[in-house]
Amino acid sequence: MNTAIRKLVLAYSGGLDTSVILHWIRDHFSCEVVAYCADVGQGDETAGLEHKALTTGASKLYLEDLREEFAREFVFPMMRANAIYESYYLLGTSIARPAIARKQAEIALREGADAVAHGATGKGNDQVRFELTFARLAPQLTVIAPWRHPEWPFKGRADMIAYATEKRIPVPVTSEKPYSMDRNLVHVSYEGGILEDPWREPYADMFRLTVAPENAPDQAEYVEIEYLHGDPVAINGGVLSPAGIIERANQIGGRHGIGRVDLVENRYVGIKSRGVYETPGVTMLLHAHRAVEQLTLDREVMHLRDGLVPRYAEMVYNGHWFAPERESLQALIDQAQRHATGVARLKLYKGAVSIAGRKSINSLYDPAMASFEQTGGYRQADAEGFIRLNGLRLRALAQIESRTPQEKKRIRLQDQCGRAMAENFRATQSAASLKEDSLGKVIQFRPPRPAPKLVPRARSGECPKCGHKKDVHVMHPNGVLTCAARGCLCRTAPVR
């Protein structure tokens, strides 16, 4: 890195990677390092962080409480889309990175810094998520990615643990249990170390938010979640803030073992990786949201939205939160949520979530219309024409597939004869051409007939038609004069 750096803002968590990075950047670039940590719901992990950052070499620490902002402006819009990546991952880490990076860019501009830095590795997704956010919101800042720096001396976490021990940097990682953990309001994620073996089961004591489903209560619990325009606003009648909703849902779902996922996913950079996730609250909220949508969303709107969800989830996963395509798709999703207001009742039991009821003032569900016991204004005879029209293409397909071998042979012969006749017709016709007259009007014309074949002028004693000697011509009794030369077809009309 040849660019001179005077002041840099580092996304700092106090974990192994960013603690080592802070110390290394200060020594390598000889610049002031401002540490920044975003509280996005990682709990007590921020305790003592300022002392650790200053001791490691930072000039100051920004500890920003982003929990409500994160929940309101990032998590809730994503939940309105029911976004899931590769059928399992609820995007807890993916959605946190744009929120963290946005505030980091704001602090860098406020501090007059030249650069920003992050601790994401060159193999992962987070490097993309951070740097695409910087590109959209503060493109003038230089981005330092130590894991991609040519002079970065560490090959992996084992080297960094040794470095941290040498420099007396306290980090919550040991060689005996070397996995990385990331926590926020949405989930806790675990990766690396012993988890890199996809056959190996995670440690039972690793999980922070959930009990093991087999150890969950033997009695099911019912929970009611209220929605307003697609966003959850209350749990069991208690109105809460966006962050409060997620925290309360985590508490309830966690004690029933809800939301554990063990996934081998496809990273944006093309590598498969294994991640283990705990997402109890958002798992519950996803089921409740779908229950309310079942009543309130128009069929075609729901199907259109559901068809776009995988693409939306990819945008979030790949770090395109501030990209115009995600913002455009968000506008469509938010429009579809105008009537998504209601209450869903969930049943939680030993790791499972099921829908036990739903209701809405905007319900499109009509019991009388759907009942098998009542007509409810629905004329069942109308279905006959509807089915007939929908069956037209199927009957046409069945007609083709039911042909006998003899019928197929006859059709092929007819087709061959038709093609032959068409070829003969085209061969005997002059090619039609298009031409524009002086007024620009397109007119069709036929090319002129070919001129008759010219025969050289006959010399004395030669036939003017074929050029042969006249003495080889024979007069027939009917007055027709023909040429007797071999191969000549000269023939004159009878003399009247």
| Structure confidence by residue, pLDDT tens digits, 255-267 | 999 999 999 999 9
What residues contact residue 345 under an 8 Å CB cut-off, 6+ apart?
222, 223, 224, 291, 355, 356, 357, 358
457 against 10, higher pLDDT:
10
Q: Which of 26, 67, 80, 97 does the annotation list as catalytic? A: 97
By percentage, how much of the chain surpasses pLDDT 90? 62
Q: Which of 136, 180, 267, 363 does the annotation list as catalytic? A: 180
What tens digit of pLDDT does each residue of 405-430 get? 888 888 888 888 877 777 776 666 54
Domain assignments of the chain as residue spans, ordered by start: 7-359, 463-496
- State whether residue 458 is helix, strand or coil: coil
241 flagged as catalytic: no
Q: Which residue, among 151, 126, 142, 100, has the nearest Cα to 8 in the 3D structure?
A: 142
Is the pLDDT score of 440 beyond 60?
no
Tell me what pLDDT residue 454 has.
Answer: 44
65 flagged as catalytic: no
Tell me what pLDDT residue 167 has.
Answer: 86
Architecture of domain 7-359 in this structure = Alpha-Beta Complex (3.90)
Tell me what pLDDT residue 496 has.
Answer: 43
Is the pLDDT score of 439 beyond 80?
no
How many alpha carbons fall within 13 Å on the CB side of residue 254? 17
What is the mean predicted confidence (pLDDT) over 379-393?
84
What is the mean predicted confidence (pLDDT) over 318-346?
98
Tell me what pLDDT residue 471 has.
Answer: 64
**DSSP letter, residue 491:** B
Amino acid at the residue 314:
E
Is the pLDDT score of 293 beyond 70?
yes
In this structure, what are the phi and psi dihedrals at residue 359, rounded to the nearest 5 degrees?
Answer: -155, 155
438 flagged as catalytic: no
What does the mean pLDDT of the chain come to? 87
Let me know the angle formed at the C-alpha of 354 by 353 and 356, rounded to the nearest 5 degrees. 135
Tell me what pLDDT residue 22 has.
Answer: 95
Q: Which of 19, 67, 94, 126 does the annotation list as catalytic? A: 126
* Predicted TM-score (pTM) of this structure: 0.79
Tell me what pLDDT residue 1 has.
Answer: 45
Is the pLDDT score of 456 beyond 60?
no
Tell me what pLDDT residue 470 has.
Answer: 61
Q: Which of 17, 39, 114, 182 does the annotation list as catalytic? A: 17
126 flagged as catalytic: yes
What is the mean predicted confidence (pLDDT) over 194-208?
92
